[in-house]
Amino acid sequence: MEKKMLKTGYFILLLSCFALQLDANPGLKVRITQKGLDYGWKVGLENIKQEIQNETFQSWSDRENFGLVKFDYTVSGLRMNTVEFPDASVSLIPGTGIKLAIEHASATFHANWSIKTWLVRNHGGATVSLSGVFITVIFQVSRDNKGRLSMLFHNCRLSIHDVKVKLSGGASWVFNLFAGYLKKPIQAYLDKNLCPKIKHKIQRMDAELRTLKVLSQIDAFAQIDYSLINSPAISKTYINLDLKGTVYPAGNRTDPPFVPDPFTLPDKNNSMLYLGVSEYFFKSASLAYYNAGAFNITITKEFSTYFMPTEVTPNSTIPEVLQLVQNYTMSHPLMLTLQSTAAPMISLQTSSLTTEITGYLEMFSVLPNSSLQFIFAGNLTVNTSANMTISKQKLIISLLLKRFHFSLTSSGVDFSEISLLENFLSCVLWNGAIPAINDKLRKGFPLPNQAQTKFIQPVLEFNQGYLLISTDIHYTL
Ligand SMILES: *[C@@H]1O[C@H](CO)[C@@H](O)[C@H](O)[C@H]1NC(C)=O
Ligand SMILES: *[C@@H]1O[C@H](CO)[C@@H](O)[C@H](O)[C@H]1NC(C)=O
Ligand SMILES: *[C@@H]1O[C@H](CO)[C@@H](O)[C@H](O)[C@H]1NC(C)=O
Ligand SMILES: *[C@@H]1O[C@H](CO)[C@@H](O)[C@H](O)[C@H]1NC(C)=O
Ligand SMILES: *[C@@H]1O[C@H](CO)[C@@H](O)[C@H](O)[C@H]1NC(C)=O
Ligand SMILES: *[C@@H]1O[C@H](CO)[C@@H](O)[C@H](O)[C@H]1NC(C)=O
Ligand SMILES: *[C@@H]1O[C@H](CO)[C@@H](O)[C@H](O)[C@H]1NC(C)=O
Ligand SMILES: *[C@@H]1O[C@H](CO)[C@@H](O)[C@H](O)[C@H]1NC(C)=O
Ligand SMILES: *[C@@H]1O[C@H](CO)[C@@H](O)[C@H](O)[C@H]1NC(C)=O
Ligand SMILES: *[C@@H]1O[C@H](CO)[C@@H](O)[C@H](O)[C@H]1NC(C)=O
Ligand SMILES: *[C@@H]1O[C@H](CO)[C@@H](O)[C@H](O)[C@H]1NC(C)=O
């Protein structure tokens, strides 16, 4: 009885360990669909074609018996002439990896040959045609211990139905008979070398994947962690990748004091690539930028540049505001300082991303002798919505002023009417503070992708708790 309880205890312990692991939700999700794989394989085949075309094969020599006659031969300068892949496909093996298949492929090669018997020596050119070539390659897709994507060669099968050799040069019938004898070693050569070459190629791609950095520097302020938090999930129609998706202040990889909420990408597969960007990602970005001081700003601008009509402050109230401040500042340049007092709050709704920035704002007038004349100061809360666009594989956020709340703590100006102060502030925020913050965000957040890929017509869509980016891709070799 006691033993049984003990076992149950272990079992529960084990389960809870499991549960702990499952607790780690991704901040970013990436889905590569069948359409994406088809495209990738098409590009890959082009690359393979070029590579075989560039390849110089080793020459080889051997000895064969031709009836009673022994002869030594050398095949050299083997080069591919044409290659056709009429049926090529890529498919997913759920839970394992990716299967590449090439069927009914054909190719022709040119080579030089020379033979030597005790009687004759001769040499010439040859055309080798292969047809009915079938290759299947399976590789596993997984995650290495540093959280990078990895490809492991699993197996390769090759069959070549027909090899034809045609000689030119030493034209006698002897040599054309001899052509028949070359088929066997050529077939053996391909059987021996093709799969190992493919294996080597996959290993090279894996090595390349492992040089990709999981940390991506955004700008002087922040970096993103793109490491995989668990193995890729491979289903029949897509591969899902769960990435950490945390934004850290540059040089400080302390995790933020909150964790991602779980979210699921919709069951879509008509784009090549889907990216789900969670609220957590934006929250960690907000915290990182706050810690790095990106929301502490000081700007000094010419007086007039602040007082342009804005969406919030209509034309009609500007002259009044201008006059009031002008009476006090004599149109000297204005200096604004904003010190954020908490990381901006982020909320991702079904139609937009909104932020709330809180801080302490001070306004000064810069006198001709460079000393500062205090105008007013107070606590500020700004609500903005975020306009998001994708440009050059980066997510670019720019804030739009929606509302603000200001409580004056001290003032050198007599704002007899509070609306005057509000209009003044509206101009200052709209034309000063928000553009300054947007300037810092302008570099954008690099989205997970490879150097040579380009997003084609990405579409952004807000969902509860995450932003969905659907896109096709273009790859340049
Ligand atoms: C997309 O998914 C549906 C089922 O969800 C499937 O029938 C269809 O074949 C898939 N399309 C592609 C291109 O994989
Ligand atoms: C093939 O060779 C050409 C010319 O030398 C080169 O430009 C090209 O990059 C090579 N392609 C591959 C896939 O190696
Ligand atoms: C093949 O033979 C021809 C004629 O002998 C020669 O010009 C050519 O360089 C040879 N090619 C190679 C790759 O050895
Ligand atoms: C790193 O950031 C955390 C909060 O995210 C902060 O508590 C810690 O002091 C920072 N460490 C350094 C060395 O800046
Ligand atoms: C930003 O301003 C706040 C409030 O004055 C201050 O506590 C914080 O240290 C500043 N951050 C940086 C990085 O300068
Ligand atoms: C705003 O006022 C300026 C001159 O003060 C005028 O030229 C402009 O047309 C006005 N704009 C609107 C939208 O009323
Ligand atoms: C600005 O000064 C002028 C003259 O000194 C005065 O008439 C006007 O009321 C002042 N405007 C404001 C908004 O205080
Ligand atoms: C700068 O000029 C103002 C007014 O013109 C004056 O009150 C102030 O003392 C001057 N400051 C310095 C440091 O000279
Ligand atoms: C600003 O945003 C916060 C958080 O989203 C919200 O609670 C608050 O009501 C908003 N304030 C205004 C003035 O809209
Ligand atoms: C959002 O950004 C795009 C591109 O920068 C711009 O064309 C558009 O006008 C912006 N929308 C708003 C509401 O500012
Ligand atoms: C301004 O904010 C500080 C805390 O950041 C608070 O102590 C103070 O009472 C606030 N002042 C006003 C006028 O709201």
Task: Please tell me the predicted confidence (pLDDT) of residue 171.
Answer: 56
Residue 445 above 90 pLDDT? no
**Measuring CA to CA, how many Å separate 327 from each of 320, 322, 365?**
11, 8, 12
Task: Please tell me the predicted confidence (pLDDT) of residue 92.
Answer: 95
Query: For ligand 4, which residues put their CB under 6 angstroms from it?
Result: 252, 254, 256, 291
Given its phi and psi angles, is residue 10 left (phi above 0), alpha (psi -120 to 50 degrees) or beta?
Answer: alpha
Quick: pLDDT tens for 308-340. 766 666 566 666 767 777 777 777 888 999 999
* Per-residue tokens: 286: 């907000």
Q: What is the mean pLDDT of residues 270-295?
A: 92
Q: Whose CA is nearest to atom 9 of ligand 3?
A: 77
Q: Is the CB of 347 under 6 A from ligand 9?
A: yes
Task: Please tell me the predicted confidence (pLDDT) of residue 340.
Answer: 94
* Per-residue tokens: 193: 């070398």
Q: Report the half-sphere exposure of 395 (CA within 13 A, side-chain side).
A: 22
DSSP string, 94-141: TTTEEEEEEEEEEEEEEEEEEEE-SS-EEEEEEEEEEEEEEEEEEEEE
Quick: pLDDT tens for 138-193. 999 999 888 898 999 999 999 999 998 888 766 556 667 677 777 887 888 888 88
Q: What is the mean pLDDT of residues 412-439?
A: 84
Task: Please tell me the predicted confidence (pLDDT) of residue 23.
Answer: 52
Q: Whose CA is nearest to atom 7 of ligand 11?
A: 379
- For residue 362, report the distance from its CA to the centre of ligand 5, in Å: 14
Do 341 and 359 meet the contact criterion of CB atoms below 8 Å apart? yes
Q: Which residues pair with 460 in a beta bridge?
A: 469
Task: Please tell me the predicted confidence (pLDDT) of residue 141.
Answer: 92
Counting ligand 9 atoms within 8 A of each CB, the residue from 286, 356, 381, 406 with the most, and so the one to mutate, is: 356
Q: What is the mean pLDDT of residues 283-308?
A: 86
* Residue of 362, 364, 359 lying closest to 301 (CA atoms): 364
Query: For ligand 10, which residues put their CB under 6 angstroms from it?
Result: 387, 389, 400
Q: pLDDT category, 37, cuts 50, 70, 90?
A: very high
Q: Where in the chain is the domain with CATH 3.15.20.10?
A: 216-461
Residue 345 above 80 pLDDT? yes
Q: Is the CB of 407 under 6 A from ligand 11?
A: yes
Do 167 and 186 meet the contact criterion of CB atoms below 8 Å apart? no
The C-alpha angle with vertex 363 and arms to 362 and 367, in degrees rounded to 5, equals 135
- For residue 34, report the distance from its CA to the centre of ligand 1, in Å: 8
Task: Please tell me the predicted confidence (pLDDT) of residue 432.
Answer: 87
The total number of residues shown for the chain amounts to: 477
Task: Please tell me the predicted confidence (pLDDT) of residue 253.
Answer: 87
Residue 71 above 70 pLDDT? yes
Q: Whose CA is nearest to atom 3 of ligand 7?
A: 327
Query: Ligand 7, closest atom to CA 414?
Result: 14
Residue 3 above 50 pLDDT? no
Distance CA 383, CA 379 (A): 13
Say which residue, 373 or 58, is predicted with more confidence: 373
Q: What value does the mean pLDDT of the chain take?
A: 85
Tokens 């054909």 correspond to what residue? 106
* Residue of 297, 212, 292, 295 lying closest to 247 (CA atoms): 292
Quick: pLDDT tens for 244-254. 999 998 888 88
Distance CA 444, CA 396 (A): 4
Phi and psi dihedrals of 161, rounded to 5? -80, -35
Q: Name residues whose C-beta falls within 8 Å of residue 403's C-beta, 6 or more positions apart in sequence.
A: 382, 383
Query: E strand or H helix at 453, and its extent?
Result: strand 453-463
Residue 467 above 90 pLDDT? yes
Phi and psi dihedrals of 106, rounded to 5? -140, 160
Q: Name residues whose C-beta falls within 8 Å of residue 44's C-beta, 6 or more positions apart in sequence.
A: none
Amino acid occupying residue 195: C
* Per-residue tokens: 167: 């000689």
Q: pLDDT category, 452, cuts 50, 70, 90?
A: confident
- For residue 336, report the distance from its CA to the centre of ligand 7, in Å: 23
Counting ligand 10 atoms within 8 A of each CB, the residue from 353, 354, 385, 387 with the most, and so the one to mutate, is: 387
| Ligand nearest to C-alpha 272 | 1
Query: For ligand 3, which residues put their CB under 6 angstroms from it?
Result: 76-77, 112
Q: What is the mean pLDDT of residues 378-407?
A: 92
Q: pLDDT category, 5, cuts 50, 70, 90?
A: very low
Q: Is the CB of 127 under 6 A from ligand 1?
A: no
Query: For ligand 2, which residues put their CB under 6 angstroms from it?
Result: 47, 50-51, 54
Q: What is the mean pLDDT of residues 14-30?
A: 61
Q: pLDDT category, 281, cuts 50, 70, 90?
A: very high
Tokens 């009673």 correspond to what residue? 68
Q: Which residues pair with 358 in a beta bridge?
A: 381
* Residue of 95, 37, 33, 32 lying closest to 233 (CA atoms): 95
- Superfamily of domain 34-209, CATH level 4: Bactericidal permeability-increasing protein; domain 1 (3.15.10.10)
Tell the CATH topology of 216-461: Bactericidal permeability-increasing protein; domain 2 (3.15.20)
Distance CA 356, CA 126 (A): 75
Do 119 and 178 meet the contact criterion of CB atoms below 8 Å apart? no
Residue 19 above 50 pLDDT? no
Task: Please tell me the predicted confidence (pLDDT) of residue 6.
Answer: 42
Lowest mean per-residue pLDDT among 25-39, 88-102, 200-214, 351-365: 200-214
Residue 4 above 50 pLDDT? no
Q: Is the CB of 330 under 6 A from ligand 8?
A: no
Q: What is the mean pLDDT of residues 412-428?
A: 80
* Per-residue tokens: 86: 């009429």
* Residue of 386, 285, 291 lying closest to 341 (CA atoms): 291
Task: Please tell me the predicted confidence (pLDDT) of residue 12.
Answer: 40
DSSP string, 305-318: HH-S--SSS-GGGH
Distance CA 402, CA 422 (A): 13
**What percentage of the chain has pLDDT greater than the value 70?**
89
Q: Where in the chain is the domain with CATH 3.15.10.10?
A: 34-209
- Using CB atoms within 10 A of its CB, is residue 295 exposed (0-12), middle (13-18) or buried (19+)? buried
SS3 readout for 383-422: EEEEEEEEECCEEEEEEEEEEEEEEEEEECCCCCCHHHHH
Quick: pLDDT tens for 110-129. 888 888 877 778 888 888 89
Say which residue, 441 or 173, is predicted with more confidence: 441
Q: What is the mean pLDDT of residues 95-110?
A: 93
Q: What is the mean pLDDT of residues 297-307?
A: 82
- Using CB atoms within 10 A of its CB, is residue 124 exposed (0-12), middle (13-18) or buried (19+)? middle
Tokens 């004349």 correspond to what residue? 373
